[in-house]
Chain A
Amino acid sequence: MSTYKLDYLDQLESEAIHIMREVAGQFERPALLFSGGKDSITLVHLALKAFRPGKFPFPLVHIDTGHNFQEALDFRDWLAESLGEKLIVRYVEDTIREKKLKEPTGRNASRNALQTFTLLDTIEEFEFDACIGGARRDEEKARAKERVFSVRDEFGSWDPKLQRPELWNIYNGKIHKGENVRVFPISNWTELDVWNYIKRENIALPSIYFAHERELILRDGKLLATAKGVIQTEETDQLVTRKVRFRTVGDISCTAAVESDADTLEAAIAEIQATRISERGETRIDDQVSEAAMEDRKKGGYF
């Protein structure tokens, strides 16, 4: 066996670094969309590998739904501060007020759709021409077909029929004024790859990824975090205390917890390896509405 061989994690890492550097090389005003979740934390780590000892050629941008876990927000601030990198936060709350948007109400209402407005406004405000995101193709069927460089029109829309061919490792980021590109450096990573990488690289994560005691709402067999003003309680809801962890750290209103004893990275990975339910199905409440839910949101400018 030849010694000049890269392990798969090194291959994925190198591919992601290459993509980030293409963004730096091809765009005037890129941004890294940072959600506080493990995927975007992994992106930040990859950016360190791509650009240190230099500064990041882009700010970290967070679209705050107002429904985020406090632990994730604290972690976000700490990370940006300790790296000395620029953080821009824009609030869905402000968009709702300024645009007099109607908030979805009722069962499992979430601000996921409204987030798109704030994102598009932020892109316009800073004239971002490329936004790096942590989406993976294994998450969902429509994503499985999206390119690494995904060109969006002025309205942020994705047209699955008009995707640019993407060959070898050549990325074509040429766009017209007003258009922008969403870039997904970890497209080819699976959830398990991300976890294994986090472990190998010893990357710090917000505490909610690990098992902890918490008060929760039990609804339709799913465990939701309690949050004042975010989740309306219903008659059939049961208040329970359980030891849980979160597999994704999205909007509180649509992120369910899983019961777990995994309080270390090793234990969390072991659980993920054993689990027979995919990440989105287990914890994202908003994707189950319809088969084509994600595709429709993307066409409307969602990430």
Chain B
Amino acid sequence: MDLLRFITAGSVDDGKSTLIGRLLYDSKSILADQMEAIERASKSRDDGEIDLALLTDGLRSEREQGITIDVAYRYFQTTKRKFIIVDAPGHIQYTRNMVTGASNCQLAVVLVDARHGVVEQTRRHSLIASMLGIPHLVVAINKMDLVDYSQDVFSNICIHYNELAQKLDVGEVTYIPLSALNGDNVVEKSANMPWYEGEPLLSYLETVELDHDENLTDARFPVQYVIRPQTAELHDYRGYAGKITSGIFRKGDSVTVLPTGETSTIDAIEMAETHFDEAFAPMSVVLHLADDVDVSRGNLIVKSESLPIVSQNVEAMLCWMDSKPLKAGNKYTLQHGTFRTRCAVRDIVYQLNVNTYEEKEDVESLKLNDIARIVLKTAKPVSFDPYDKNRVNGGAILIDETSNVTVGALMLQKEAV
């Protein structure tokens, strides 16, 4: 059975919590005692109705304010697939939380209220999904019960959204009309919308093709740790522990260690003393090289036939995640996989308006949740792939050198001139 991680995004009150609650409830993933806790909590509210949304509200401050602040993870499974729901808050103030949640997802469900159609939030959520390279996107047009299950309303929203999608580099888009509250087209096909020929949301999630999402062409292996038992019988044992982030490695492959550029061949691939002839992403393994080259944590082992970009000047899209502003000239630590180096911001090329997608130049500084294209100069060369070709080897973070906090998400694009 395979695993699908998907993120849900919507404005406050679009019905995201209700939808997730409905998916869990109708797929029988809510256990009896959790249901009881919800019933108890529903009673202490004014209306007294059972509120499926309560299933997903985690932290006390959130429960009190009735909104989702941080990313929460939910788990359910059907006979066809296992799912991890990444429940991210929708408000602009929490853009960084959505970016965090989206980074690992293969699919995004963007909620739209049928009464309001495509709004500013929809545009921002779609931009984030596209920027983070999520390959599949579902536009879930919710509250169809409040627009008389009208096909016209649905079609108009699809046309409107499609215009927006043209401007973005979004993957495959699927439109589903639903009512999370009543369960139409969530798990069961809706009798209220016979004009809709597609599948309900859950069947789509169960069957969407994921095979082509993994990059199997560019073999990349960031070294995490060197295993050296140094015992009498394993005196010369030296294994490089890590996780293959993309591609396939085979015994005998010619490889290059970056950024040093030393070359060797793969002598053995193992995991807990079981040997393999080949291994592929996202497996965690131990690699052995034929030659005595200098390899340590932070190095990237790649197949020599497809080398990444190796450069100290990097152009990237950035989501800024700190309340202290980012300015040109500021210095940070950059972490790319297991590799860390100091870096300085050379230039803010433009800031992207997350609602209109306009590019604004001559920007002095970036605030929390701003998105921009920037150029970085690094102390040591970074070995990366363009983000749209390789999400893992194209992603990096910025760390504040005094607070140690993660302050920026970088989608690396190309070598800067």
B405 an interface residue at 8 Å Cβ cutoff?
yes
Q: For chain A residues 153-190, which have a beta carbon within 8 Å of chain B?
A: 160-161, 163-170, 172, 174-176, 187-188, 190
B126: chain A residues at CB < 8 Å are none
Q: In whole angstroms, what is the CA distance A65 to B396 when docked? A: 42
Of the candidate stretches A73-81, A99-107, A275-283, the one touching chain B is A275-283
**Shortest beta-carbon distance from A237 to chain B in Å:** 23
Contact B34 A278, beta carbon cutoff 8 Å? yes
Interface flags for A55-67 (1: CB within 8 Å of B; 0: not) read 1010000000000
B242 an interface residue at 8 Å Cβ cutoff?
yes
Q: In whole angstroms, what is the CA distance A278 to B395 when docked? A: 37
Assess A170 versus B395: contact at CB under 8 Å? Given A165-B96, A281-B31.
yes
B208 an interface residue at 8 Å Cβ cutoff?
no
B404 an interface residue at 8 Å Cβ cutoff?
yes
B241: chain A residues at CB < 8 Å are 21, 50-51
Assess A169 versus B73: contact at CB under 8 Å? Given A14-B284, A24-B225.
no
Contact A276 B397, beta carbon cutoff 8 Å? no
In this complex, the member of A54, A137, A160 whose beta carbon has the largest number of chain B beta carbons within 10 angstroms is A54
A295: chain B residues at CB < 8 Å are 59-60
Contact A292 B71, beta carbon cutoff 8 Å? no
A2 an interface residue at 8 Å Cβ cutoff?
yes
Partner of A172 from the list B57, B227, B229, B406 (CB cut-off 8 Å) is B406
**Shortest beta-carbon distance from A239 to chain B in Å:** 26
Q: In whole angstroms, what is the CA distance A34 to B321 when docked? A: 35
Of the candidate stretches B10-18, B137-145, B197-205, B330-338, the one touching chain A is B330-338
Partner of B211 from the list A5, A13, A165 (CB cut-off 8 Å) is A5
Q: In whole angstroms, what is the CA distance A14 to B271 when docked? A: 10
Contact B229 A54, beta carbon cutoff 8 Å? yes
**Shortest beta-carbon distance from B213 to chain A in Å:** 11
Contact B284 A8, beta carbon cutoff 8 Å? no
Q: For chain B residues 357-382, which have a beta carbon within 8 Å of chain A?
A: none
**Shortest beta-carbon distance from A177 to chain B in Å:** 11
Assess A276 versus B31: contact at CB under 8 Å? Given A22-B224, A54-B227.
yes
Contact B243 A188, beta carbon cutoff 8 Å? no
Contact B282 A14, beta carbon cutoff 8 Å? yes
Contact B228 A21, beta carbon cutoff 8 Å? no
Assess A167 versus B72: contact at CB under 8 Å? Given A1-B211, A17-B243, A49-B271.
no
Interface flags for B83-126 (1: CB within 8 Å of A; 0: not) read 01000000000001101100110000000000000000000000
Contact A7 B1, beta carbon cutoff 8 Å? yes
Assess A276 versus B284: contact at CB under 8 Å? Given A8-B2, A21-B241, A141-B58.
no
A142 an interface residue at 8 Å Cβ cutoff?
yes
Contact A21 B237, beta carbon cutoff 8 Å? no
**Shortest beta-carbon distance from B352 to chain A in Å:** 18
Contacts between chains A and B (CB distance < 8 A), count: 174
B100: chain A residues at CB < 8 Å are 165-167
Partner of B224 from the list A5, A18, A55, A141 (CB cut-off 8 Å) is A18
Contact B99 A167, beta carbon cutoff 8 Å? yes
Q: Chain A, interface size: which category?
A: 35 or more
Q: For chain A residues 8-26, which have a beta carbon within 8 Å of chain B?
A: 8, 10-15, 17-18, 21-22, 24-25
Contact A281 B33, beta carbon cutoff 8 Å? yes
Assess A165 versus B99: contact at CB under 8 Å? Given A2-B211, A170-B395, A170-B396.
yes
Q: In whole angstroms, what is the CA distance A138 to B395 when docked? A: 27
Partner of B338 from the list A25, A167, A292 (CB cut-off 8 Å) is A25
Identify the B interface with A (CB < 8 A): 1-3, 31-34, 37, 41, 57-61, 63, 69-75, 77, 82, 84, 96-97, 99-100, 103-104, 211, 214, 216, 224-225, 227-229, 234, 237, 239, 241-243, 245, 248, 271-273, 280, 282-284, 297, 321, 333, 335-338, 391-392, 395-397, 399, 404-406, 409
Question: 5 more A-B contacts (CB under 8 A) besides A165-B397, A167-B99?
Answer: A4-B216, A17-B284, A48-B272, A53-B273, A169-B392
